[in-house]
Amino acid sequence: MARVRGHAGIGHAGIGRAGRAREAAMIVLDYYDGPLQGFARGAFGADCCYFQIVAWSRWNDYRLFAVVAIEPETFQRVADALAQADAGRPGAVGPARWAFADRATAVQMDALLHRCIEQAHSPGFLCLTDAAATAPLARVTTDEALRRRVGAALSSGRMADLREWRGVVRPPAER
């Protein structure tokens, strides 16, 4: 499957009136046979979060994500801003561009995204998932040494092989 970058797949099915969350939702910023980066509500072992892939196993498609908790209001702001820019497709579930209705909103959302990307280099925890699933198979709270390791991995610009992270987390098949 082709890698999609710079597009946000938005799932709004769980966003009701008054912005109350009813079910899981995801805003995918990067995708390759499953989400690689984005914002989520009710996924990755967090209420609301920003997530970014750190490593994966191409044989079993396990994925290790850096996860940064965000406020539910922050998730909702991003979802609403993207939906407003794509007003012709309310409740869209397909890809949408990371574009906004006006320049001021674009500047705010870009600043928010860049803060989340920086925070992912020192995440609160890591989450191991199976393929495109967002339910955690394992969740590892990070300490200072692990945050430095995640930061170095994300700064490298390449997705690490999950075997390099065996000392941190093991997929269920390897336990």
Average pLDDT score over residue span 159-165? 93
**pLDDT class for 89, splitting at 50, 70, 90?**
low
What is the pLDDT, as a whole number, of residue 18? Answer: 44
What is the pLDDT, as a whole number, of residue 91? Answer: 52
Q: How far apart, in Å, are the Cα atoms of 44 and each of 88, 93, 95, 154?
A: 30, 19, 21, 18
Q: How far is CA 142 from the centre of its chain?
A: 17
Average pLDDT score over residue span 78-95? 70
What is the pLDDT, as a whole number, of residue 172? Answer: 77
Q: How far apart, in Å, are the Cα atoms of 138 and each of 115, 128, 135, 171?
A: 25, 5, 9, 8
Going from N- to C-terminal start, the domains of the chain cover 4-163
What is the pLDDT, as a whole number, of residue 88? Answer: 55
Among residues of the chain, what percentage have pLDDT more than 70?
79
CA angle 131, 153, 120 (to 5 degrees): 75
Label residue 159 exposed, middle or buried (CB < 10 Å: 0-12, 13-18, 19+).
middle
pLDDT in tens, 118-156: 999 999 999 999 988 889 999 999 999 999 999 999 999
pLDDT in tens, 39-52: 999 999 999 999 99
Q: Which of 73, 45, 16, 17 is nearest to 133 (CA)?
A: 45
- For the beta carbon of residue 76, count every other beta carbon within 10 angstroms: 18
CA angle 52, 9, 6 (to 5 degrees): 65
Residue 20 tokens read as 């109350």
